[in-house]
Chains A and B, each alone.
Chain A
Amino acid sequence: MTLPPKVRLVGRRLLQAAPALAGIIIITFVLTRALPGDPAVYFAGPAADEASIAEIRKQLGLDRSLPVQFVSYLRDLATGNLGTSISTGQPVLTEIVTRLPASLELTLTALLLAIAVAVPLGVLAATRPDSWVDHLCRFVVTAGVSLPTFFTGLALVYLFYYLLGWAPPPMGRLDILFLPPDRVTGFYTIDSLLAGDISAFGSALAHLALPAVTLALFTLAPIARMTRAAMLQVLGSDFIRTARAAGLSRRTVLFGYALRNAMLPVITTLGMVFSFALGANVLVEKVFAWPGIGSYAIEALVVSDYAAVQGFVLAMALLFVALNLLIDVIYTLVDPRLQLEE
């Protein structure tokens, strides 16, 4: 039985992620083992003496050849063994799995927020060149890419926490009075709703608001810029002229024809936006003491907890590949022209 073409296309997209995965594994391996300097010293941490370094070297297999090390690295990855964090004493994998939902909740909320604002803004700006919306859009775009996220975050904290007192203190995901809701998704907002705890939901939302807005302000700019540019280009293209000459209403032309075509390059840009967002996420987590994998990595960096940093880089890369895959699948389903590649 043959599969429908769309399903096969999506399957092929999934396969195309394989080289990226291989690349990630190789690079993380290179970062771990093959760099100048003695990884054993890194892994042992700053407080280690000669004997414990030698112990670690043997434990890590650093006394063996690189190919052998690579194979054992692969085996470790396959079994989920990312080493043990020297600062917490916990396996790195456990730490990351526990903290990942916090990062995801923050990043995804910010992205949804950014898309919800940026796409309409870009569309409006493109349909009314040189109007106030257009100028606003250009200002937001230029300002958005110029603002360091950690700085915007601090400015928002000063304004909404210190001056206005509207926001809770920038520490964590919940007020100390609340216990975290039972873990279902790991997203406090969703889990508290599932648990029926409205006040915990309010607290989670209040804590999420500022960091999410900070991150959204940063990711908004590239999306708005791309939407505006793509919309302008599509609106100037021949087929829009055909549609207008055929008497299609402005609504149909704008949303049925122009927007759908303009979304294709925007979807492609989202990959880059995710990359920015995941990077900026680290900074935002530090500013708001958000207990995600970003702040975990920063804490680990400070104490040279090397296994934890490696685990973090790997987790972020895998997350990014997954997000890119999602984009590719959406694109494949939207653009009929990709079927030609068969």
Chain B
Amino acid sequence: MMNAIPLLDIRDLTVEFATRNGAVTAIERVSFAIGKGETVGVVGESGSGKSVTSYAVMRILDRAGRIAGGSIVFGGIGIDKAPEKVMTELRGREMSMVFQNPRAALNPIRAIGRQIEDVLIEHALAVRATAKKAAIEILRTVKIANPEERYHAYPFELSGGMCQRVVIAIALACRPQLLIADEPTTGLDVTTQKTVMDLMVELTRERGMSSLLITHDLGLAAAYCDRIVVMEKGKVVEQARTDSLFADPTHPYTKRLLRATPRLDSQIRDLLPEPRPAPAILPRGEPLLEIRDMVKEFPARNGSAAFRAVDGISFTVHQGESLGLVGESGCGKSTTSAMVMRLLDPTSGAIRFDGTDIAAIPAGRFARSPERGKLQMVFQDPTDSLNPRWSAFDSIADPMYRLAGMRRAEAREKIESLARLVGLPIDLLDRFPHQLSGGQKARVGIARAIALDPKLLILDEPTAALDVSVQAVVLNLLADLKVELGMSYLFISHDLNVVRLICDRVMVMRQGRIIEEGETESVLRAPADAYTRTLLEAIPHPPGHSTVHARPEPVA
């Protein structure tokens, strides 16, 4: 495949951004090629430069960015210095792009049909009179039901998945030769992710197109790409055919990345670069948290009917146990966690925690209740969950001052020991959130949550905003802390793969109800409910898991 002339050939591409502190190199001497009909994945964590590479190819870098060196040859023509006029003709016509966050990627005040027409007319594939028919035809190709009606729809009237289909429709309207997809499914639910990816692959295969998939998700790249390029800190560290990359990774970073990506059968310790003994298992004790028939109904507001976000759920978390709560967006899992956390009052139902009916205490007054310290939470977004004007020290100290009545001097010793416990260097305690990395912020959030030795910790997608390698470390930290402090976890996630690593039991939630519950292994192995099965099947997995670990490797 590689000996034919490639469609896209990137050689030694370097991109710089002008900043206040001078030029910063975003990507350096990046080289790879895409053959005709080939699907190539570019994989890397945040800051790896994978998106910048794709913008450079499309020549749609921000004003501050410029191609500082190297060449981009597309279909035999050098485009790295091509004038804007040539690029305008190429874009959309020969090469096009699909973005993440599809709803924002569409013009909010123009009907979607008209947006497709604009592209067709621009590239002279239609005139005003014929454009509407052509646009409807394209909407049909991307499997949008009732295309005649949807032609008039605006982006805000469509779901995220639907919007992404429209973005794909715009990208493919002029039958280009190359499709670049930049994190096309990030932020979409797994089931939607699967349908969108399947659609994209089907259409590109059918038309013999080449495509470039940019993603942070190794599993996704493995499932859809012929070849994978791994990037780290602006450089390509390794590229290989998908199967050989997974079977025989050569670069230490690739190995680390492969390790950190959870697979079907990996155990929590497998994610770490160095082997460690599995965490001890706490014996399952008395019921700690008992939820009975909990309901949350949001009252009808002008126009929209009353909405039952949580529709009568019951479950129990025992002492020393980790219970997973899994579901897609809008299933009611966040509302559930807010009610259990006593940040929100349930419409009806009982919440017994450690022998007390805490549902009887209104959310507004619970902040000063003695139970408050025993029931804590780790939030989804470590950045959002830290007060930007408070140092790490102050954030961790807040619950100690407020709930334990400690003074600053007493708190310092405890905070330093907490920092050691969560692996946060002591000298970072005086820093502000914007001076900390994502992983460090996550550790601050965890230290704050465990500051008062809580009995139950709710983990609300604690790793969703983190890179996989950081996720691996944080998950292991959480597993260790649980044993060390004898806590119980309620782990909320959309990702069954991650839940499996932490939880003994799991519940699957959909439309406000719990549709399946059981031991994690058995639910994953033999799901009873059809929805659980769909959810499981939609998760892309990296192949050849066992081989990676079987192979001895040199110490990095």
Contact = CB atoms under 8 A, between A and B. Distances in A.
Q: Do chains A and B touch in the complex (CB under 8 A)?
A: yes
Interface of A: 129, 237-239, 241-250, 252, 256-257, 260-261, 264, 334-337, 340-342
A244 to B, nearest CB: 5
A242 B106 contact: yes
Interface in B51-65: 58, 60, 63
17 contacts: A238-B101, A238-B105, A241-B105, A242-B99, A243-B107, A243-B118, A245-B91, A247-B90, A248-B119, A249-B88, A250-B88, A257-B107, A261-B109, A335-B109, A336-B109, A336-B154, A337-B109
A334 B88 contact: no
A252 B89 CA distance: 14
B8 to A, nearest CB: 15
Nearest to A240: B107
B372 interface: no
A340 B88 contact: no
Contacts of A334: 109
Given A246-B171, A250-B88, A337-B156, A261 B93 contact: no
B90 A260 contact: no
A246 to B, nearest CB: 4
A248 B118 contact: yes
A247 B96 contact: yes
Interface in B82-125: 84, 88-93, 96-97, 99, 101, 104-111, 118-119, 122-123
Contacts of B91: 244-247
B170 interface: yes
A245 B58 contact: yes
A247 B84 CA distance: 10
A334 B109 CA distance: 8
B91 to A, nearest CB: 4
Interface string B60-82: 10010000000000000000000
B303 interface: yes
A243 B115 CA distance: 9
Given A336-B109, A337-B108, A245 B88 contact: no
A242 B109 contact: no
Contacts of B58: 244-245
A337 B171 CA distance: 24
A241 B60 CA distance: 7
B99 A238 contact: yes
B444 interface: no
A252 B90 CA distance: 16
B496 interface: no
Interface of B: 58, 60, 63, 84, 88-93, 96-97, 99, 101, 104-111, 118-119, 122-123, 154, 156-157, 167, 170-171, 173-174, 302-303
A247 B107 contact: no
Contacts of B154: 336-337
B88 A242 contact: no
A340 B156 contact: yes
B211 to A, nearest CB: 14
Nearest to A341: B303
Which 6 A-B residue pairings sit nearest by Cβ, starting from the closest?
A: A247-B92, A247-B91, A245-B97, A246-B92, A238-B104, A242-B105
B118 A242 contact: no
B110 A257 contact: yes
Contacts, number: 88
A contact patch SS: helix
Contact of B99 (A241, A261, A264, A340): A241
B359 to A, nearest CB: 35
**Which of B107, B111, B156, B171 gathers most chain A CB within 10 Å?**
B107
A250 B85 CA distance: 9
A247 B118 CA distance: 10
Given A257-B110, A337-B108, A242 B167 contact: yes
Nearest to B123: A247
A29 B141 CA distance: 64
A342 B111 CA distance: 19
Nearest to B58: A245
A237 B302 CA distance: 31
B116 to A, nearest CB: 9
Given A245-B91, A246-B171, A252-B122, 13 more contacts: A238-B101, A239-B106, A242-B106, A245-B92, A245-B97, A245-B99, A246-B96, A247-B93, A248-B119, A336-B154, A337-B108, A340-B157, A342-B303
A246 B101 contact: no
Contacts of B174: 247
Nearest to B97: A245
A237 B155 CA distance: 15
A237 B60 contact: no
Contact of B108 (A129, A239, A244, A246): A239
Contacts of A337: 108-109, 154, 156
B226 to A, nearest CB: 23
B105 A239 contact: yes
Contacts of B302: 341
A109 to B, nearest CB: 30
Nearest to B107: A239
B109 A248 contact: no
A245 B122 contact: no
Given A256-B118, A340-B156, A247 B105 contact: no
Q: Name the residue among A237, A239, A245, A264 with the largest chain B CB count within 10 angstroms.
A: A245
A42 B481 CA distance: 77
Contacts of A250: 84, 88
Contacts of B118: 243, 246, 248, 252, 256
B183 to A, nearest CB: 12
A129 B97 contact: no
A245 B60 CA distance: 7
Contacts of B97: 242, 245
A247 B172 CA distance: 12
A19 to B, nearest CB: 16
A129 B303 CA distance: 44
Contact of A129 (B63, B107, B167): B63
A302 to B, nearest CB: 49
Contact of A242 (B63, B84, B89, B170): B170
Contacts of A261: 107-109
Contacts of B167: 242
Contacts of B84: 250
A212 B93 CA distance: 50
Contacts of B107: 239, 242-243, 257, 261
A247 B170 contact: no
A89 B434 CA distance: 69
Contacts of B119: 246-248
A295 B156 CA distance: 49
A335 B111 CA distance: 11
Contacts of B104: 237-239
A248 B92 CA distance: 8
Contacts of B173: 246
Contacts of A257: 107, 110
Contacts of B157: 340
Nearest to A236: B62
Contacts of A245: 58, 60, 91-92, 96-97, 99, 171
A342 B156 CA distance: 14
Contacts of B105: 238-239, 241-242
Nearest to A242: B105
A239 B91 CA distance: 15
B170 A246 contact: yes
Contact of A247 (B89, B101, B106, B109): B89
A223 to B, nearest CB: 20
A283 B110 CA distance: 42
A256 B121 CA distance: 13
B160 to A, nearest CB: 13
A268 to B, nearest CB: 14
